[in-house]
Amino acid sequence: MPHRLRLSALALSPWLGVAALAQSLAPVTVTATRTELPPFEVPASVDVIDGGRLRADGRAQLNLSESLALTPGVLARDRQNQAQDLQLSVRGFGARSTFGVRGVRIYVDGIPATMPDGQGQLSHIDLGSASRVEVLRGPFSALYGNSSGGVVQVFTEEGQGPFTLTPSLAWGSDGFYRSGLKATGSAGSLGYTLNASRFSSDGFRTHSAARRDLANARLDWQLANGGQLMLVANHVDLRADDPLGLSRAQFNAAPQSADPSAIQFNTRKTVRQTQLGLVYELPLGGGNRLRAMVYQGERATVQYQAIPVAAQAGPLHPGGVIDLNRSYGGADLRLTAQAQLAGLPLELVAGLAYDSLREQRLGMQNFSGASLGVQGALRRDETNRVSSLDPYAQATLKLSPRWTLHAGLRRSTVRFDSVDHYVAGPNGNDSGSARYSANLPVAGLLYAPADNLRLYATAGKGFETPTLNETAYRADGSTGLNLGLKPSRSNNLELGAKGHTPAGAATRLEWSAAVFQTATRDEIVSQTNVGGRSTFQNAGATRRRGLELASSLALPGDWLMQLSYTWLDARYRDAFLTCAATPCATPNVAVQAGNRIPGIARSALALEAGWRPLRGWRAGVEARYLGSVPVNDLNSDAAASFAVAAAHVGYAVEASGWKMLGTLRLDNLFDKKYAGSVIVNEGNGRYFEPAAGRTWLLSLTGSYAF
């Protein structure tokens, strides 16, 4: 597969001279809209973060939140809690998630990391061997089907050239330790990238220690018939304590603390996941090609929650331990064809995607006798299945040298089925099923008034079903899946502009701007949320509208400066009723029309400036600002706005065939106390997940080509 980068200072590798690259790199392609085009020629908001940047400036290489701050419209918040994935939202989609990632589609090497119900995971993403991350926002995201308020794709490096070994080590605050070893290269028709890493930390907060082992492999074969076969394999083993959220009083008094119930019940999570995928591409001549992808995986998760013993006394309560064993897989068959329509160049993409998930869900009590935080009696046992079947088609028509039309349609059908195996006394048979479907059209028009300027307009429809986790519990305390939830549906509009300085200029400036609006009906919102367990309901209409700005400036002398700004106004347009406690047979608390949707900041600003020569000393500074974030639908409290700064200094050297880089990084330079993320609508008022204070990280990386 061809290596793809964005011609942008955002994509410049820190291992190379910034100014030299700005003058020599030629435009290549991204695959965010399934048509291989330079981002500059796509009528959508799409950004690419190069793999070098993911590992630059002494970053920890644990979470995507480290590198997405300069992507407008994207809010990736590190919970400082490895028992929960980072809080990832795109234009407000996904902000309500209390478990994993939802509302945003995740792909790794073309393999879905989002299940057919819309629930996604990030724990298996290997930043140590990633070549790039593509982020797609706006209407064209709907072409990826259910729960695609945005699309994030991660691609592993393709092995090329001589055998190269890259060891890395990092130490930091709060017992942070990470080690990694990567091997890349090619032998004949085979290219390979192999990487393994181990991370451990005592955690910034009490009861937040974590350990993660990760292995990732990509093999590429160039076949005799001109085709390409890629195999990707991945394994992750994670164990993390969960300190839970803090109330306002706890957060103000001791942000490093854990809630007492977390200690009492030893709240924690373990995850083991293994998956394998194959991607086959065959050129058919004349620019036509066929692509086939299949994948299969297993994920086992056990989570101990802080559910009081008394609450589990009722015969209908499912217990305080969740044990999930998931088997998932799928396939995608796609044909890309070059044709003409009325003498105009036309590219067609047509495909069929199928994904399936089988979940064995067990619920046990989190106590045995007087012992707390241990697995007790069985209280829930069910088999849940979700499948999706989505045909799709896209077209790109070159109307003239300056006008290009893009259009697509996806038919998304998602089926849920639950078989209840735990039938005891008043706990009856709660088996059930549901089916959701939608037609998802999108169209965009791109205009090129000048060689270095693009204007575009795009519109499309979106679709978001409830996830298995969102249907897992009913607000009134009764058993069975909440299959009465309806999918939310949205209409999306975007207008944008992109520009850059002429090619070959000593100073390279790139910029982009977009305005957008999303109108949603039947928004899925949390109804109750206590002890890490949430229930959901459909509210009325919501509206998200915003502005995104980004620019990057590469200057002579290896200087690079970058800026991004997001303004996002997300509100409920209809009033609705919610719950103040659980169980809640009937919602009885009014949420007013005009309230802000919780978990979403109104404004975000990121700035970076760095000096990165090929060898010798290098340094940089970063600044982040985030506006206040309401923590619940009532808007009765909010995480305050904050501004933080970071700095890094490093030294790069080449000696005896080795390329080596050492970097010292300081985050939260001024030791600001702030909430790194929030738990939306937490019923005990424990909304706040504190960010770490001032921290340091020392990292060492080397590479040797044999």
Tokens at residue 374, please?
């241990």
Question: pLDDT value at position 506?
Answer: 86
Residue 394: CB partners within 8 Å, gap ≥ 6? 33, 34, 35, 143, 348, 349, 350, 406, 407, 408, 409
What is the arithmetic mean of pLDDT over 179-192?
Answer: 96
Q: Is the pLDDT of residue 354 over 60?
A: yes
Instruction: Band the pLDDT of 532: cuts 50, 70, 90.
Output: low
What is the arithmetic mean of pLDDT over 611-617?
Answer: 93
What is the distance of C-alpha 355 from the center of its chain?
A: 19
Q: Concatenated DSSP letters for 659-684? A: EEEEEEEEESTT----EEEE-TT-TT
Domain 9-705, classified CATH 2.40.10.220, yes or no: no
Q: Which is higher by pLDDT, 663 or 425?
A: 663
- List pLDDT tens digits, range 98-139: 767 888 999 999 999 999 999 888 888 999 999 999 999 999
Integer Cα distance of 381 and 363 in angstroms: 7
Integer Cα distance of 159 and 448 in angstroms: 36
What is the arithmetic mean of pLDDT over 335-364?
Answer: 95
Q: Is the pLDDT of residue 427 over 90?
A: no
Instruction: Band the pLDDT of 684: cuts 50, 70, 90.
Output: confident
Q: Give percent of the chain above pLDDT 70.
A: 95
Q: Which of 37-41, 195-199, 284-288, 368-372 is least confident? A: 37-41
Question: pLDDT value at position 581?
Answer: 79
Q: Which of 119-123, 202-206, 562-566 is least confident? A: 119-123
Instruction: Band the pLDDT of 203: cuts 50, 70, 90.
Output: very high
Q: Is the pLDDT of residue 31 over 50?
A: yes
Q: Which is higher by pLDDT, 292 or 51?
A: 292
Instruction: Band the pLDDT of 503: cuts 50, 70, 90.
Output: confident
Contact 387, 356 (CB under 8 A): yes
What is the arithmetic mean of pLDDT over 550-578?
Answer: 95
- List pLDDT tens digits, range 61-76: 988 889 899 999 999 8
Integer Cα distance of 95 and 233 in angstroms: 30
Pairing between β-strand 559-572 and β-strand 576-578 as defined by DSSP bridges: unpaired
- List pLDDT tens digits, range 533-550: 788 999 989 999 999 999
Contact 150, 93 (CB under 8 A): yes
Question: pLDDT value at position 19?
Answer: 32
Pairing between β-strand 403-420 and β-strand 378-398 as defined by DSSP bridges: antiparallel
Q: How do the domains of the chain map onto residue ranges?
A: 9-705
Question: pLDDT value at position 499?
Answer: 96
Question: pLDDT value at position 97?
Answer: 78
Q: Is the pLDDT of residue 95 over 80?
A: yes
Q: Which of 32-41, 187-196, 226-235, 646-655 is least confident? A: 32-41
CB atoms within 10 A of CB 665: 22
Q: Which is higher by pLDDT, 86 or 397?
A: 397
Q: Quick one: which H or E segment has residue 534?
A: strand 533-538
Q: Give percent of the chain above pLDDT 90.
A: 76
Question: pLDDT value at position 529?
Answer: 80
